[in-house]
Structure 1
Amino acid sequence: MIIDGMSHDRFFKLRSNLKAVINDDIPENQKKADRFWKVRPFMDRVLKGCHLQAQPECVSIDEQMIPFTGACPFRQYVQLKPNPVGMKNFVLASPGGIVLDFEVYQGAKTLSLQVEDSEGLGLGALVIKRLCGTLHAGTKVYCDRFFTPIPAVDFMLEKQVYLTGTVMKNWVSKAMEKLPSDKTLKQQGRGASATVARADGKLCVVKWYDNKPVVMLSAIHAEQPKDTCQRWSKIDKKYVIVTCPSIVQEYNAKMGGVDLSDRMMSCYRMSVRTKKWTTRMLMHFTDLALANSWLLYRQDEQENGTPRKATMKFLEFRMEVAQVFLSKNGIPHEDASIADAEEEDVHQLKPG
Structure 2
Amino acid sequence: MHNKPICIQFKNDNTSGEEMLQVAGIHVVMGVLGYAQSKLYWQQDTQVPVIAKCMTRDRFYELRNYMHFVDNTSEHNEKLWKVKPFLDCVQKKCLTLPRSHHLSVDEQMVPFSGKCGFVTYVPSKPNPLGLKCFILAAPDGLVLDFMFYNGSGTVSAEDIKEYGLGAAVVKMMTESVPRDNQHCVYTDRFFTNVKSVDMLLGRKIYQTVKDNKSVVILSSWVGSSPPTTYKRRSREHKKKIDVPQPVEMKLYNENMGGVDLCDRFLSYYRCYIRTSKWPVRMFNHFIDLVIVNSCRSDLVSEKTGGANGVGMIGTSAPVSTRKTSHDEMSVMYKRPFGQMDEWTECNV
Tell me the TM-score normalized by structure 2. Answer: 0.71
The percentage of counterpart residues that share the same residue type is 41
Larger Rg over CA atoms: 1
Question: Against the structure 1 CA distance between its residues 283 and 233, is the aligned structure 2 distance closer, same or farther, given a 3 Å change threshold?
Answer: farther
Alignment of 1:54-65 (within 5 A): 54-65=98-109
Distance 2:236 2:126 in 1: 28
Alignment of 1:229-248 (within 5 A): 229-232=230-233, 239-248=240-249
Instruction: Out of 225-234 and 140-149, give the one that drifted further.
Output: 225-234
SS in 1 for 2:118: coil
Alignment of 1:310-321 (within 5 A): 313-314=332-333
Distance 1:217 1:282 in 2: 38
1:346 corresponding residue in structure 2: none
Checking the alignment, whether the CA contact within 8 Å between 1:149 and 1:167 is kept in structure 2 is no
1:299 corresponding residue in structure 2: 300
Question: Against the structure 1 CA distance between its residues 313 and 166, is the aligned structure 2 distance closer, same or farther, given a 3 Å change threshold?
Answer: closer
2:70 corresponding residue in structure 1: 21
1:334 corresponding residue in structure 2: 345
**Alignment deviations for residues 174-213 of structure 1 (CA, whole Å, 9 cap, x no partner):** xxxxxxxxxxxxxxxxxxxxxxxxxxxxxxxxxxxxxxx5
Letter in 2 for 1:14: L
Pick the aligned partner of 1:144 from 188, 200, 209.
188
- What displacement does 1:218 show? 0.5
SS in 1 for 2:222: coil
- What displacement does 1:235 show? 7.6
Alignment of 1:111-150 (within 5 A): 111-112=155-156, 117-137=159-179, 138=181, 139-150=183-194
Letter in 2 for 1:23: N
Letter in 1 for 2:133: N
Aligned length: 270
2:262 corresponding residue in structure 1: 261
Q: What is the RMSD computed on CA atoms of the aligned residues? A: 2.9
Checking the alignment, whether the CA contact within 8 Å between 1:78 and 1:84 is kept in structure 2 is yes
- What displacement does 1:313 show? 3.4
Question: Against the structure 1 CA distance between its residues 317 and 165, is the aligned structure 2 distance closer, same or farther, given a 3 Å change threshold?
Answer: farther
- What displacement does 1:4 show? 2.1
Checking the alignment, whether the CA contact within 8 Å between 1:60 and 1:92 is kept in structure 2 is yes
Checking the alignment, whether the CA contact within 8 Å between 1:294 and 1:317 is kept in structure 2 is no
Letter in 1 for 2:174: C
2:220 corresponding residue in structure 1: 219
Distance 2:106 2:159 in 1: 23
SS in 2 for 1:223: coil
SS in 1 for 2:200: helix
Tell me the TM-score normalized by structure 1. Answer: 0.70
Unpaired segments ≥5 residues, structure 2: 1-49, 307-326, 338-343
Letter in 2 for 1:46: V
Checking the alignment, whether the CA contact within 8 Å between 1:272 and 1:280 is kept in structure 2 is no
Letter in 2 for 1:274: T
Distance 1:108 1:243 in 2: 44
